[in-house]
Chain A
Amino acid sequence: MTTTTPFQDIKPQRPWQASTKDKSVTLGIFILSVALAYGVVLFTGLSGKLGMFSSFVFIFVFINSGRSYLQFGSAMAKDSLVNILVAVGTFLTIIPIASILFEVFSKGYKGLYPGLFYRDMSLNSPNDPANVGGLGHAILGTVLLVSIALIFSVPIGILTALYLTEIRGKFSRPIRFLVQAMSGVPSIVAGLFILSAILYPITKNNSSFLGSLALAILMIPTVARTSEEVLNLIPNDLREAGVALGGTQWRTVAMIVVPAAKSGLLTAVILGIARIAGETAPILLVAGGGDRYNYNPFNGPMGSLPHFIWNSFRSGTPESTARAWTGLLVLLVIVFVLFAIARFFGNRKVGK
């Protein structure tokens, strides 16, 4: 038995989308613009890729807007003009990012080998080929530096955010201003501060603990600002409901507000880590660098990935330059993974 479905003659359509004819006209304009731009480069003073690109954009915008104007009038012409400008802006933004990624991957992948991740550089000179030695000490250093910085900056950052969103005390405004201003502090200022306030007068010795303090100074504003934004998204209804059930403010915050904001607060912490993982200046000044494993965060110089990269580039030999690119690759991958995790948690609806 065959079932006859009603309306089977009617096909779903999308009349609001560009038709094949429209698309071919646009393609034609595109090709024409490329040809004209080539001609412009050939016969005028403009030259090179930049000249080609800019004359192409100019010609394409001109022809496309003209076509919209003839077809629909001036409002649509402006619309298509702005559309193209936005697309060009996006394209220009992607160029440097894509070329950085391409450069790092193409130069860095050669140095990847298993030993890279557990050996250190204590027995190697910059002239050694890229497949001896490694950056295990730098990874360990980065992990220790970031972990200890986390211990300081996560509680302080989140408590600051709670003060700004929950207590809203008299000092909210100046503190919010300070936090915002601090997030623009150059990292070398944090490094110099720890150097002059603690290292010279008190410890007189490099240690990764001091590096972590400097990194914490940089991380607190990031954690505090992001956490504040997340906590502000929690509906006020929930706070009122908690208090109306006989909870004190502290219990309401701890049992309802913070759990509801959990994933967002985690994102804040990960963004904070990504902010400091690539910092070089404080490491140079107070953690001291170093090319061997150091398991004691309170004594002796400690390496880190950014320091490893800086040091390898500075040596100047082709082998160590290759090693620097590999270090860059490892650092970039770590930061990208952290951002991906942050996106994953941040995209989940707040409160879910």
Chain B
Amino acid sequence: MTTENNGDQENMETTTTPSSLSSVASASKRKVVNTKAMGTGLEARGVHAWFGNHHALADVSLDFAAGTVTALIGPSGCGKSTFIRTLNRMHEFIPSAAMAGQVILDGKDIYDPSIDVTKIRLQIGMVFQKPNPFPSMTIGENVLSGLKLAQLKTENKDDLLEECLVKAGLWNEVKDRLNAHGGSLSGGQQQRLCIARSLAVRPQVLLMDEPCSALDPGSTLRIEETIEELSSSMTIVIVTHNMQQAARVSDYTAFFLSDGGPGQMIEMAPTSEIFARPRDKRTENYVTGRFG
């Protein structure tokens, strides 16, 4: 079940969205894309995933063009989270997990045995469902923790700290208490702290696994604004249960579904098209709220 419009997207390494898509990729944003900083996007080819004998995900091929936001939607248990975790090799942390297929970043398969997996995760950052700031660290230390974990050097820590917190939309709220513990923030602030933490290692791709599912509407809005801002400088993939959220933040939407067997990718298209003119009947049923 691959998408028919993959071909179009392969050409999207250039500086602008192809005109055929730009009309539907919503007139809302789309900006000049700096491909150099973002690399050439991320590509999944025929990805399967297993947990023990359970085939959880079958044959997903998706392109994530540089500088776009792609939303993964679908009912619970359809393999969205499993898929997003294969994209930065977090899948392998589950003891019985297995996978097949390729995930290509900058022309190289990230599952190639010669690849240093920690470097991959620096390039492909991740924000989790539950806010998880490091409890033993202050707000400032949390943001810079990635540098320490990956043993990276930076010239000016204070500038980087401010830059990341500004990007995550948290700077004004925490600039006077950078030495407070991360746990003293509200849930929404903690999640933005986690986003700031992911930004500090300057990833090309940011994966977000239901980043707003534990948050109130106000915090959700702030995070959506953050995503909007970040999308000019990186590729974002976001799993969400909230179809309005997918419609608000994403350029492309991929619909996943499991019919009792392994989860599959049913359809991928520009977001406005998925919601207005889905090609597949199942997609239509889902986005119009008839099930799931």
Contact = CB atoms under 8 A, between A and B. Distances in A.
Contact of B201 (A246, A259, A352): A246
A244 B128 CA distance: 10
A240 B150 contact: no
B269 interface: no
Interface residues of A, number: 23
Nearest to A261: B136
B196 to A, nearest CB: 12
Interface stretch (B114-122, B160-168, B228-236): B114-122
B145 A245 contact: yes
Interface stretch (A133-141, A150-158, A248-256): A248-256
Contacts of B148: 251, 255
A260 B149 contact: no
A129 interface: no
B37 interface: no
B134 A246 contact: no
A113 B150 CA distance: 58
B151 interface: yes
Contacts of B137: 259
B134 A243 contact: no
B122 A246 contact: yes
Contacts of A248: 118
B135 A241 contact: no
Contacts of A260: 134-136
B194 interface: yes
A344 to B, nearest CB: 18
Contact of A247 (B88, B90, B118, B136): B118
Interface string B129-166: 01010111100000001101111100000000000000
B145 A255 contact: yes
Given A244-B121, A244-B126, A256 B183 contact: no
B149 A242 contact: yes
Interface of A: 168, 235, 237-248, 251-252, 255-256, 259-260, 262, 351-352
Interface of B: 88, 90, 93, 95, 118-119, 121-122, 125-126, 128, 130, 132, 134-137, 145-146, 148-152, 181, 183, 194, 197-198, 201
